[in-house]
Amino acid sequence: MRPIHDMLQAASGRCSCHMPGHKGRAPFGAEDLYALDTTEIPLTDDLYAPENGIAQAQELYARAAGAGATIFLHNGSTAGIHAMVQLYAGEGDTVILPRNAHLSAANGCVLGGVKAEWIPITQREDGYCYMAEADVLATLEAHPHAKALLLTRPDFYGCCLPLERIVEKAHSMGIRVVVDEAHGAHLPWLESLASAGELGVDAWVQSVHKTLPGLTGSAALHLRDAADKPRAMRILRREQTSSPSFVLLMSIDDSRAYMEETGRARLASVAAAADEVRRALPGLGYADAHAAWADTGLQFDPTRLVIAAPQGGFVLAQSLRQRGVDVEMADVQGVVLILSCMDEVEDILHLKDILRDIPPCAAALPALPDMRSLPEKALDLRPAVMAACEAVPLHQAAGRIAAASAGLYPPGIPLVCPGERISPEVIGLLQGAGSQERFGLEGDKLLCVV
């Protein structure tokens, strides 16, 4: 029996509007990956002391990304985020994090003994949560002692916070700026939207597998100043296995090579096809969420389709799945489709016909929780996570100190983080959600500091 092989075979051959960005197509033709999988021998290289192919590939990628140095990652952007959190902050120092940061940002603080200060969320009436420029600037003012500021750009919905004023302000205060650009590996080749590196940040990480044709787990950490590379490498040796996959490293290099050869033109075609679908949505009874969010001051990735559905995102996602289309994510309001340079224009345009076959039906959508307020902080992240803890039934957890993040998905933003006091309101929201709609719990129990 080969259960995983059989599972993957059953999931293949469908219309993939989700990660990974290769969409089941090898950029330079099919390879026998088993034949290429190897280790550090005289004919290959060492990721942690590169002198051969890896060194050359990293230099080529740094040039393409506009970085002073680039380090290939084989443990996804998670390893890069861990490294960025610890790159400019030592034990006991403070890093400013957005409340919608990936879980790896908080984990990076735990691993490095770094303290976190949170930027609160701005939430629209339709439930969309994002970072507002004014809140980022205000948080910088409130924490001038911080060593670094981490931001997420783009977010899952393809929305990008303008960085120019933020970077200028932070640097004037001696605060470094690092960016989780996991969803923006394609930005160096996209004409309409600048990458974080072009906007002057100090370090940024990109998931090559999300929007480029890299294999799952492939990513790259970019550094504005090559002098930061030795410290970054020391951190990464702690964060990643000492046995990197050369096949993953090859897929990073192949992704860069493919983008330099044909990627820019393909991205332009994909963006144009996505725009055509967006224009057609109102006539089909749907809406472009990016258009509805135009008043946020955010910029939008034209290769990310976010479709608002009267019947709700979960119902639309199921209808699409029944027609062979798998989306990246659904929420109460709509669905998110990730498009990449490996998508064919005709497949994107065919989405109009598929949506025409799914008549929207207005439904009463559930109210979304208010994510704007931050809980009371009782402990820093590391002491809370490393303390003795116990799993406490939800109905008994009010007033206790959380030892793990917990919240609802979507939007995937913690209602409570380690070290924060659990309020009755948080308990009510978690109790009112199904087991598939919440994260961070152990059954109906929440991990609390003893």
- Residue 269 covered by a domain: no
| Structural domain of 296 | 278-356
Q: Strands 176-180, 299-300: parallel, antiparallel or unpaired by DSSP? A: unpaired
pLDDT of residue 64: 97
Q: How many domains does the chain have?
A: 3
Rounded Cα distance, 379 and 327, in Å: 39
pLDDT of residue 159: 97
3-class secondary structure, 117 = strand
- Residue 17 covered by a domain: no
Based on the fold, state whether residues 291 and 229 are members of the same structural domain: no
Based on the fold, state whether residues 108 and 169 are members of the same structural domain: yes
Based on the fold, state whether residues 164 and 118 are members of the same structural domain: yes
pLDDT of residue 86: 97
CATH of the domain at 341: 3.90.1150.150
CATH of the domain at 121: 3.40.640.10
Based on the fold, state whether residues 253 and 283 are members of the same structural domain: no
How many secondary structure helices (H) and strands (E) does the chain include?
16, 23
Q: How many residues does the chain have?
A: 450
The Cα angle at residue 68 between residues 62 and 74, in degrees rounded to 5 = 50
Based on the fold, state whether residues 284 and 244 are members of the same structural domain: no
> Which tokens hold the place of 412?
């995937």
Based on the fold, state whether residues 54 and 174 are members of the same structural domain: yes
- Residue 439 covered by a domain: yes
Based on the fold, state whether residues 429 and 343 are members of the same structural domain: no
pLDDT of residue 429: 87
Mean pLDDT for each consecutive 10-residue tract of the chain (450 residues)? 93 91 92 91 94 97 98 96 96 95 92 95 91 97 98 96 97 98 97 96 98 96 98 95 94 97 95 98 97 96 97 96 94 95 96 96 81 89 95 95 89 88 91 84 94
- Residue 370 covered by a domain: no
Instruction: Return the amino acid letter for 441.
Output: L
pLDDT of residue 433: 82
- Residue 40 covered by a domain: no
pLDDT of residue 368: 75
Considering Cα of 432, then 436, then 442, then 444, what sign does the dihedral take? positive
Based on the fold, state whether residues 431 and 340 are members of the same structural domain: no
CATH of the domain at 406: 3.90.100.10
Based on the fold, state whether residues 159 and 68 are members of the same structural domain: yes
pLDDT of residue 412: 77
pLDDT of residue 183: 97
Which of 321, 356, 391 finishes a domain?
A: 356
- Residue 196 covered by a domain: yes
- Residue 392 covered by a domain: yes
Based on the fold, state whether residues 105 and 241 are members of the same structural domain: yes
Based on the fold, state whether residues 96 and 216 are members of the same structural domain: yes
Rounded Cα distance, 245 and 38, in Å: 8
- Residue 118 covered by a domain: yes
pLDDT of residue 371: 78
Based on the fold, state whether residues 114 and 201 are members of the same structural domain: yes
